[in-house]
Amino acid sequence: RIAGGVLLIAALSLAMELLQVCQAARVSSAYDVVANTIGGVVGAAIALGSRGLSGYLRTRGNAGVTLVDPRLRGLTVGVAAVWVAAQAAPWVFSLDVGTVRANLSFLRHWSDAPPLDAWRVVRHAGAWLAVACACRLVAADRRVAVASVLGVGAVSIILQVLIDAQAPLSVEELGGMAIGVASALPLLGVSGRAPRGRRWAMAMACGALLSVAAYELRPDPIGAAARAFSWWPLVGLGGPLGALDYALIFGWFGFTAVVAAQWAGRDGVAHAPRSWPAVAVLTTLVFELLQTRIAGRGPDVSAPLFTLLAVLATTACLPAADDGAA
């Protein structure tokens, strides 16, 4: 299955590059195929390593202790890590005092700042609700969960203060972070993992959905009329940094949907969690179709594709049903 995933990535990359030959505005390159294939090989190595680590921990585990599969635990940590990485992209940092002051300048000009963008506040609030729930699912107790959320938040802020790019920290992000974490506090304070683990998983999925909905449905204040839906992915035409941000957001959404479904399924819910990843992909497609009526937006099939690829890749990294039973 892992080898098949690598071959699928290589074949998809090659097909996309060959199709770009037919477009005047695109440049196809063997370098892109090689880079994507190397990424698939690295992912396969991580998957194989996680399988070995899982077997090692099972042999070392105590007989009376029920351990969460290390692969699921690691992927749950990834829900927080990928979101922080998305906010810190393109990962160019500087310790220059001028850079730090520029990134914190919004605090000095609070009174002169434009009105808050409610869409961005909701986007970050939903994401941090998902991050907080992920920390609670992984943590052994309430205190560790709260400390983990505060630590992840601090790391995210520090990275964005040091980032040397046009993606500084904002009032909307700080406000959304506070709202999201505050919304998760009742869940963070609940002791035990089952059966309340399903509530945390559902809250994590809902937070991710809320974040993506705010991103997708936000109108462009200076945009022209909405454009028709394109069944050809156009994300690369917006520039490499925009494409990276786009891929991280929707990859994180599909990734989180699979992880949340796995946690919810641990509590004996037989059917509903299995459909969550498919619902995430379809919901993303619906959001893109709705953008045809939103000013300044250019909907295309890129978002559902990124979500689908994240769902497939995450599912391949998870234990099979017979592995979990063993």
Q: Are residues 41 and 132 in the same domain?
A: no
What pLDDT was estimated at residue 324? 45
What pLDDT was estimated at residue 236? 61
Q: Are residues 219 and 108 in the same domain?
A: yes
291/298 Cα distance (integer angstroms): 7
Q: How far is CA 282 from CA 35, 247, 311, in A?
A: 29, 17, 12
What pLDDT was estimated at residue 104? 82
State the burial class of residue 308 (Cβ atoms within 10 Å of its Cβ: 0-12, 13-18, 19+).
Answer: buried
Q: Are residues 233 and 90 in the same domain?
A: yes
What pLDDT was estimated at residue 62? 41
Q: Are residues 29 and 157 in the same domain?
A: no
Domain that holds residue 47: 1-67
Q: Are residues 136 and 40 in the same domain?
A: no
What pLDDT was estimated at residue 234? 79
What pLDDT was estimated at residue 22? 67
Whether the full predicted model's pTM is greater than 0.85, yes or no, is no
Q: Are residues 98 and 119 in the same domain?
A: yes
What pLDDT was estimated at residue 325? 41
Domain boundary among 67, 95, 125: 67
Q: Are residues 54 and 94 in the same domain?
A: no
Q: Are residues 131 and 262 in the same domain?
A: yes
Domain boundary among 11, 34, 67: 67
What pLDDT was estimated at residue 289? 92
The DSSP secondary structure of 110-170, one letter per residue, reads TTTSPPP-HHHHHHHHHHHHHHHHHHHHHSSSHHHHHHHHHHHHHHHHHHHHHB-SS----
Q: Are residues 101 and 176 in the same domain?
A: yes
Q: Are residues 95 and 190 in the same domain?
A: yes
State the burial class of residue 204 (Cβ atoms within 10 Å of its Cβ: 0-12, 13-18, 19+).
Answer: buried
The total of structural domains in the chain comes to: 2
324/311 Cα distance (integer angstroms): 19
pLDDT by 10-residue block (mean), the chain, 326 residues? 68 70 61 62 60 52 48 89 88 80 77 80 96 88 84 90 78 92 78 61 94 91 71 71 84 95 73 84 94 84 92 83 44
Domain boundary among 30, 49, 67: 67
Nearest CA to 129 out of 177, 175, 174, 171 is that of 177
Q: Are residues 90 and 152 in the same domain?
A: yes
Q: Residue 225 belongs to what H/E stretch?
A: none
Q: Are residues 59 and 94 in the same domain?
A: no
